[in-house]
Amino acid sequence: NQPMVDRATIEKAAKVRLSDAGKSVELTRQTDGTWRVPSYYDMPADFSKLSGFVGNLTDAKIQRLVTTNAERIARLEFKDTKIELLDSAGQAQFTVTLGKNAETGGGRFVRFGSETRAYLANLSAWLDPEAKNWANAELTNVKPDDIAKIEIPFAEGGPITVSRAKKEDAWTADKTPAGQKVKADKIASVLSSVGTIRFSDTNALDDANVASAKANLREFKLTTFDNKTVSVALGRKPEEKKLKPSTPSADGKSGPASLGTLADLAKKEEKKDDAKPGEEKKDDKPLAPEFETIPAGPVFAFISHSETSAPINVLMQKRAFQIAEYTFTGLPQK
């Protein structure tokens, strides 16, 4: 019934390394107490995920000594599934290797360091060795009550600016038709979509899809009551329709050439008109060209903050961030 790892050891750790199935990820504590994922573009770590994992680790207790017999230990499937706590110099201060789950009664077999002993602990923690999964996916976290003004772009009619003097006030627009008012629920929906954006994947800044997205942007501007501005531009490569390559005709021609010249087409029409009564006219019309649809590209979010020191401005210089398609398609079009 002893803790699997002492809390003080965890609090002193400068790095956490998780390994499983041939993969490994390392999280590093910064001088300001935050954590980063060096192997994923040195992005900020998802602190809530790390906190949950550490909570499971500190809650785990050793239930009993299982065996000191090397042959029995070999049957408990200790491989490369490992948790390591390291100091700032990279020296391991705590190492535990996880074996298989116990078949009866629950719990998991564990080994500490290089000891030739196996224990059973009530540890329930999933070791995620994917570096990207540890990066904090949150790109925007704007509280609706803090917003004084929103600029909403539209393809027709230009952007609409919606504002309020205080958070308790109703929204008003610069182009509201006489006798009408702004729908508060629509504004709340826009704020929810662009104010809480999370990325699903990242691309290199020079990726072709990123360049196409930048050429097809909708830019939303959120201004807070303390006069700070967050710009959220969303875009994607649009859907394309391309002419399918046609099958070559008998004379070996394909594409538009297979249709023949205008004179050829005229002769075909004359033959149809010269058909005798009761004789079926042959339809020599060329087949209509076929098109293939190339789906739209992934949606990217390009975000900037009026405060030059804002972390999001630094983050945007590292990677281009893909977001969920529904965030983009669910925004108002009119």
Say how many C-beta atoms besides its own lie within 10 A of residue 195's C-beta.
20
Q: In what order do the strands lie in the sheet with 299-305?
A: 172-173, 160-163, 147-152, 217-224, 229-235, 299-305, 320-323, 199-203
127, burial (CB in 10 Å: exposed 0-12, middle 13-18, buried 19+): middle
pLDDT at position 137 is 97
pLDDT at position 155 is 86
Q: In what order do the strands lie in the sheet with 82-86?
A: 43-44, 35-37, 23-29, 15-20, 82-86, 92-101, 108-112, 118-121, 62-67
Mean pLDDT per 10-residue section of the chain, whose length is 334 residues: 91 95 96 95 96 93 95 94 94 95 90 94 91 96 96 90 95 88 93 96 96 96 97 94 70 56 60 59 65 91 96 96 95 90
What HEC string does 44-103 produce?
A: EECHHHHHHHHHHHHHCEEEEEEECCHHHHHCCCCCCCEEEEECCCCCEEEEEEEEEECC
One-letter identity of residue 219 = E
> CA nearest 149: which of 223, 231, 229, 233?
223
* Beta carbons within 8 Å of 187's beta carbon, 6+ residues apart: 150, 162, 171
pLDDT at position 205 is 97
3-class SS at 323? strand
Burial of 301-317, coded b for 16+ CB within 10 Å and e otherwise, reads bbbbbeeeeeeeeebbe
* Beta carbons within 8 Å of 82's beta carbon, 6+ residues apart: 17, 18, 19, 20, 95, 96, 97, 98
Alpha-carbon span 62 to 107, nearest angstrom = 9
161, burial (CB in 10 Å: exposed 0-12, middle 13-18, buried 19+): middle
* Mode of pairing for the β-strands spanning 229-235 and 299-305: antiparallel
Alpha-carbon span 253 to 255, nearest angstrom = 7
pLDDT at position 329 is 93
Predicted TM-score (pTM) of this structure: 0.79
For residue 259, what are the CA distances in angstroms to 22, 241, 249, 267, 281? 59, 21, 9, 13, 19
Length of the chain: 334
State the Cα torsion 272-273-277-280 to the nearest 10°: 20
Tokens coding 323? 């977001």
Alpha-carbon span 100 to 270, nearest angstrom = 82
